[in-house]
Chain A
Amino acid sequence: MSGFAPAGDPVIPDYGQASDCVINNGFFCTDWFASQWSTVFWPPLVDHIYMVLIAVVVGFLIAFTAALIAYRKKWLAGPIGVAATFLYTLPPLALFQLLVPFTGLTLLTVEIALVCFTLVIIFQAVLAGLAAVPDDVKRSAVGMGLDTKQLMLKVELPLALPSIISGLRIATVLTVSVATIAAFVVDSGLGSPILKAVSSPFNTQFIAAGALAVLLAFVLDGLLVLIGRILTPWTRVRI
């Protein structure tokens, strides 16, 4: 946990013999990337994954609960939606500024801001999924004697799953990207090698970190697609 806007350590390592690529500050120096992987890239990547997972999981729990409440008490759907949208529209950097006096330059500050960002997406996705459950399916379920809880667990939630998963995908990809600015608050995540590289002219560091963030977004998105496929086998069958 170093200070706000950490000043870079020497970015271009001066030990060993630098390759031509490094000396000429080439677009991307594979050899340097490989040699720095375990110190400059791997730890921030792991931090980044944690940061994103915590934000998405906490955001999901809050937004999902809020969506269930809004689904039961329709009059709450509007106000909750507006509140969530408000949090979404706050610029994350401004939110950091707002939070730092209370929660300090900590991971908590970052997570609060990230969670705020995911809420509206997940909330709307859950609500839209529940609203899209066909009326005749609900009517036959209730008509057969399912109670409210059984209707929710056996029918409404499973059928809302495709929509919930798409919401999670968007929220996750977005969080991977937004989490890079967490480096303004804590020296953690893929944002910090990027931020450090900004203060030096060395290309490979921020290109590699940026590419890792993009890759991470793709991988997490792919994982969610896979989970969705496993959880919703009926959506893939066609005669």
Chain B
Amino acid sequence: MTESATTTMPATSTARSTRNSSIVFDNVTKTYPGQTAHALDSLSIEVRSGELVCLVGPSGGGKTTALQLVNRLVDLSSGEIRIGDTNIMDLSPIELRRTIGYAIQQSGLFPHYTVAENIATVPTILKWDRKRIEARTKELLELVGLTPVENWLKRYPGQLSGGQQQRVGIARALAADPPVMLMDEPFGALDPITRVAVQDEFLDIHRAVGKTTLFVTHDIDEAIKMADRIAILKPGGLLAQYDTPAEVLARPADDFVAEFLGAERGLKRLALTTVAEVLAAGRDRRGSSPVAAAAGSTEAGNPVSAAEWPEVSATMTLREALSLVSAAHAQGARVMDAGSHLGDVTLHELICPPADDPARTTEGARI
């Protein structure tokens, strides 16, 4: 009885891990045999427990190498990598890999296994009993949004769209509840619309399960959206900058980073803040009069009055809201949430978000 109770309650296994599962790169260098240039050069970063770090950089910058060093698909040349307090060299590669979730571009799903069999790969080699595997498989399909699960269990990867394959790939990587996830451009082959949807789902999953995640992408927008911190590698495998998306965008460490972020760096930064946050900050500043900002609209012969400003939703990013405001030739936007008018934001507030001002963020933190 106790036995069946524990095996049918796998939900607890996706709970946030309290163990230390940080990934530490300590002066890690990799040179492939027969090559003079380093693929990765003295990389020292720490991915903290539960953190999602994106590794970005140009093609050939050593991102995949860095990732594969962690699960020992590639051997270190020098330096040390630790997961938690364990040096990865202290475990056998096979043991190590079974504690690391691994998802790659094109999903790497086994074409000859059904969805259920794919997800059950690691639990099966770990010899979980059948009931527990079944329950876990269903739980994971629900987690990645492939419901009702009965419709998906018996399909082959060839019968799934790219986005569905990536969802199954994520479920498979999570199957044995590894404390650490490595993802190598998992969404790289998806069309833009599917990619955004899968990114959003993955972020939700990440927040729910809190795995320490090292996520490789060459898409800086993806990194800005997903990452707690971004590590930017330059050719030759040198770390150019390691910081939060906001910091990287506000203060690129060097010309390489600035160029990598692109000319739209200023706009990309606006994608980090939601309209709701600006609205809240604006209220703090003006007391609680939400429409005071309307004053801005009388300037410069503006053709659209505050009452006709476009409607934006509170959950939109400033970048999205700005796009609507620009399209409407307006000086601000009306913030709506489920049909009710929450307040207005001005063009100025949209392009100079409060998060930009270090003084205000500290002030905000104190309140």
Contacts and interface: CB of A to CB of B under 8 A. Distances in A.
Contact of A147 (B94, B102, B111, B155): B94
Interface residues on B, range: 20 to 34
A150 B97 CA distance: 14
Contacts of B121: 141, 144, 146
Secondary structure of the A side of the interface? helix
A144 B103 CA distance: 9
28 contacts: A136-B108, A137-B109, A137-B110, A139-B108, A140-B108, A141-B110, A143-B68, A143-B71, A143-B73, A143-B97, A143-B104, A143-B108, A144-B98, A144-B122, A145-B96, A145-B98, A145-B122, A146-B94, A146-B121, A146-B125, A147-B94, A150-B125, A154-B110, A158-B112, A232-B112, A234-B112, A238-B158, A239-B158
Contacts of B103: 140
B244 interface: no
A131 to B, nearest CB: 16
Contacts of B156: 233-234, 237
The 7 A-B residue pairs whose C-beta atoms are closest, nearest first, are A140-B108, A145-B97, A145-B98, A143-B102, A234-B156, A136-B108, A234-B112
A99 interface: no
B289 interface: no
Interface residues on A, range: 20 to 34
A82 B198 CA distance: 50
Contacts of B104: 136, 139-140, 143
Contacts of A137: 108-111
Given A136-B106, A159-B112, A142 B125 contact: no
Nearest to A232: B112
Contacts of A238: 158-159
B191 interface: no
Interface of B: 68, 71, 73, 94-98, 100, 102-113, 121-122, 125, 155-156, 158-159, 169, 172-173, 182
A146 B95 CA distance: 10
Contacts of A144: 97-98, 102, 121-122, 172-173
Nearest to B108: A140
Nearest to B126: A145
Contact of A159 (B111, B172, B182): B111
Nearest to B161: A239
A130 B151 CA distance: 32
A155 interface: yes
Interface string A83-95: 0000000000000
A46 B259 CA distance: 77
Contacts of A239: 158-159
B299 to A, nearest CB: 56
Contacts of A143: 68, 71, 73, 97, 100, 102, 104, 108, 182
Contacts of B107: 136, 140
B337 to A, nearest CB: 39
Interface in A162-185: none
A145 B106 contact: no
Nearest to A239: B159
B154 to A, nearest CB: 10
Given A136-B105, A232-B112, 19 more contacts: A137-B109, A139-B104, A140-B102, A140-B103, A141-B108, A141-B121, A143-B68, A143-B71, A144-B97, A144-B122, A144-B172, A145-B94, A145-B98, A145-B122, A146-B125, A158-B112, A159-B110, A237-B156, A237-B159
B73 A139 contact: yes
B137 to A, nearest CB: 15
